[in-house]
């Protein structure tokens, strides 16, 4: 396997007053280039925490995060910003769309943060929305879209700066089974067409079964299991 994104003996502690809560206790995962990997486990076991560390939204207490063999947290703050904006895309359970903005405007945000010209950002956003099947919803605001449509806007937004990997945190958690299948079908198509890698935290064993590989997170550690197990 050509390893793209690796969490190596990752630990994470949170302090609440004098109490220390150890969420991750040396979790190790690897995602290959163009591979779909499922991350399964009970609610509260630390799946979101691990994804946040792999995406550099938070720092580990110990351990390393490697992208193409390079220590992500050795890059400095400017390097971390570039990593989050250009190499990793994020998809969340609750979509995280701005309600006052249209689907097109929400999708444009990563390109604008990367300081692309507004016209270029608009064109790229329209292309991304067309790619996820929403070319007829550009002017709709989140409140005018179904849950599945909102999640597809979020996926289009994640694609904007052409990342190598997508971290998806319970991306179908708010969706009915049929819509969940549609979203997972979209992930599989993007994997094939863009050679995108996915690490998908999910509690849905039927969806996890479609991944190339899977990890189960238990008591702060990850072990590789058969997809759907």
Q: What is the pLDDT of residue 191?
A: 94
Average pLDDT, the chain: 94
Q: What is the pLDDT of residue 127?
A: 95
Q: What is the pLDDT of residue 130?
A: 95
pTM of the predicted structure, to 2 decimals = 0.94
C-alpha of 109 from chain center = 16
Q: What is the pLDDT of residue 90?
A: 96
Query: What is 32-94 written as a DSSP string?
Result: ETT-EEEEE--TTSSHHHHHHHHTTSS--SEEEEEETTEEGGGSHHHHHHHIIIIIEEEEETT
Query: What pLDDT digit, counting tens, does each position of 27-67 carry?
Result: 999 999 999 999 999 888 999 999 999 999 999 999 999 99
Select from 1.10.10.10, 3.40.50.300, 3.30.565.10, 3.30.450.90 the CATH code of 3-96+147-225.
3.40.50.300
Q: 98 is written with which tokens? A: 């701005």
Q: What is the pLDDT of residue 228?
A: 74
b/e burial code for range 46-62 (CB count within 10 A of at least 16 → b) = bbbbbbbbbbbeeebbe
Weakly modelled stretches of the chain, pLDDT under 70: 1
């Amino acid at each position: 396997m050509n390893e793209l994104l690796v969490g190596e003996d990752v630990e994470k502690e949170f302090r609440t007053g004098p109490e220390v809560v150890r969420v991750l206790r040396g979790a190790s995962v690897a995602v290959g280039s163009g591979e779909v990997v499922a991350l399964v486990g009970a609610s509260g076991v630390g799946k979101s925490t691990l994804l946040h560390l792999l995406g550099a939204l938070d720092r580990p207490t110990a351990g390393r995060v490697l992208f193409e063999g390079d220590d992500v947290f050795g890059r400095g703050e400017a390097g971390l910003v570039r990593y989050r904006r250009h190499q990793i895309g994020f998809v969340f359970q609750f979509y995280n769309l701005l309600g006052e903005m249209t689907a097109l405007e929400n999708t444009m945000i990563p390109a604008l943060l990367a300081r692309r010209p507004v016209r270029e950002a608009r064109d790229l956003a329209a292309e991304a929305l067309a790619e996820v099947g929403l070319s007829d919803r550009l002017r709709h605001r989140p409140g005018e879209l179904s849950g599945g449509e909102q999640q597809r806007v979020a996926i289009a937004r994640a694609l904007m700066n052409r990342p190598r990997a997508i971290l998806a945190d319970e991306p179908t958690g708010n969706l009915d089974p049929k819509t969940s299948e549609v979203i997972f079908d979209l992930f599989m198509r993007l994997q094939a067409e863009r050679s995108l890698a996915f690490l998908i935290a999910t509690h849905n064993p039927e969806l996890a079964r479609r991944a190339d590989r899977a990890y189960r997170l238990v008591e702060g550690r990850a072990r590789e299991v058969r997809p759907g197990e």
